[in-house]
Structure 1
Amino acid sequence: MIFHLDLDSFFVSCERLKDPSLIGIPVATGGKVVAEELAGNRDTGSRADPRGAGGVISSASYEARKFGVRSAMPTAQALRLCPHLKIIRSSFGLYSEMSKKVFTVVERFAPVLEKVSVDEAYLDMRGTENLWGPPEVAAQTIRAAVFEETGLTASIGIGSNRRVAKIATDFRKPNGQTYVAPGTEIEFLAPLDLKRIPGIGPSTEAVLTENGLLKIRDAQAWPLEKLVARFGEGMGHFLFRASRGEGSTAFFEEALTRSMSRERTFSEFPKDRMTLKKELWTLVSEIGAELREEEDPALKYAQTVRLKLRNPKFETISRSRVLSKPTKITEEIFDAVLALFEENWMPGSAVRLLGAGIVLGDGARQLGLFEPVAEEQKKEKLEELKDTLRAKFGDSALKTGRDF
Structure 2
Amino acid sequence: MKPLPNRQIACLDMRSFYASCAAAMEGLDVMKTPIAIIGNIERKGGVVLAASPPLKKQFGITTGMRLYEIPNDPSIHLIEPKMQFFIDVSMELTKLLNRYVPKEAIHVYSIDESFVDFTGTELLWGPLDHVIRRIQDELYRQFQLRSACGVGPNMLLSKLALDLEAKKTGVAYWTYEDVPEKLWPVAPLHKMWGIGRRLERTLEEMGIYSVGDLAQTPLENLEKKFGVMGNQLYYHAHGIDYSTLGSVLIEGQVSYGKGQTLLRDYITTDEILTVVLEMCEDTAMRARLAKKKGRTVQLSFGYSKHAHGGGFQRRKTLPEATNETLAIYRVCLELFELCHDGRPVRHISVSLTNLEEQNSFQLSLFDPSDWKQQKLGHVMDKLRVKYGSTAILRAVSVTPGGTAYRRNKLIGGHYK
Please give the residue correspondences for 1:173-184 in structure 2 after superposition, counting only pairs within 5 Å: 173=167, 176-184=170-178
Q: Specify every segment of 5 or more residues in structure 2 that has no aligned partner in the other structure, as ranges.
A: 1-7, 248-256, 264-281, 292-322, 333-347, 354-386, 391-407
**Percent identity for Structure 1 against Structure 2:** 25
Q: CA deviation at 1:226?
A: 2.1
Q: Tell whether the 8 Å contact from 1:28 to 1:87 is kept in structure 2 after alignment.
A: yes
2:289 is the alignment partner of 1:320? yes
Query: Rg: which structure is higher?
Result: 2
Could you say what secondary structure the match of 1:114 adopts?
Answer: strand
Alignment of 1:175-254 (within 5 A): 176-193=170-187, 194-229=189-224, 231-252=225-246
- Whether 1:52 and 2:32 are equivalent positions in the alignment is no
Q: Structure 2-normalised TM-score?
A: 0.54
Q: 1:81 to 1:172 in 2, by over 3 A?
A: farther
Does the CA contact (< 8 Å) of 2:35 and 2:55 recur in 1? yes
Contact 1:147 1:153 (C-alpha < 8 Å) held by counterparts: yes
Unaligned runs of 5+ in 1: 33-48, 254-270, 278-305, 310-316, 323-338, 354-375, 380-397
Counterparts of 1:240 and 1:115, CA distance in 2: 26
- Does structure 2 retain, via aligned residues, the 8 Å contact 1:114–1:121? yes
CA contact (8 A) 1:4 1:166 kept: yes
Computed over aligned residues only, the root mean square deviation of the Cα atoms, in angstroms, reads: 4.5
**Greater relative CO, 1 or 2 (CA 8 Å, sep 6+):** 1
Q: 1:6 to 1:192 in 2, by over 3 A?
A: same
**1:304-336 CA deviation, whole Å, 9 max, x = no partner?**
xx9799xxxxxxx965169xxxxxxxxxxxxxx
SS in 1 for 2:261: helix
Q: Could you tell me which amino acid in structure 1 is paired with residue 148 of structure 2?
A: S
Map of 1:236-275 to 2, 5 A cutoff? 236-252=230-246, 273-275=259-261
The alignment of Structure 1 onto Structure 2 pairs a total of residues equal to: 277
Distance (Å, rounded) in 2 between the aligned partners of 1:10 and 1:157: 17
Assess if the C-alpha contact under 8 Å between 2:106 and 2:117 holds in 1: yes
User: Is 1:14 aligned with 2:21?
Assistant: yes
Q: Which residue of 2 aligns with 1:24?
A: 32
CA positional deviation for 1:93: 1.9
Deviation string, structure 1 residues 339-362 (Cα, Å, up to 9, x no partner): 989877975768799xxxxxxxxx
- Give SS of 1:173's match: helix
Give the TM-score normalised by structure 1: 0.56
Aligned to 1:132: 125
Q: Does 1:105 align with 2:96?
A: yes
The whole-number CA distance in structure 2 between the counterparts of 1:65 and 1:341 is 44
The answer to whether the 8 Å contact 2:83/2:414 transfers is no
CA deviation profile, 1:272-309 (whole Å, cap 9, x unmatched): 843399xxxxxxxxxxxxxxxxxxxxxxxxxxxx9799
Is residue 169–residue 177 contact of structure 1 (8 Å, CA) maintained in 2?
Answer: yes
Per-residue deviation, residues 56-107 of structure 1 (Å, max 9, x unmatched): 4433334555687665x3x43x754988775421111221222122222111
Deviation at 1:21, TM superposition (A): 6.0
Counterpart of 2:201, as a letter, is: A
Q: Is the 8 A contact 1:5 1:122 kept in 2?
A: yes
Quick one: which amino acid aligns to residue 93 of structure 2? V
Structure 2 distance, partners of 1:12, 1:246, is 35
**What is residue 52 of structure 2 aligned with on the other side?**
61
Q: Which residue is 1:2 aligned to?
A: 9
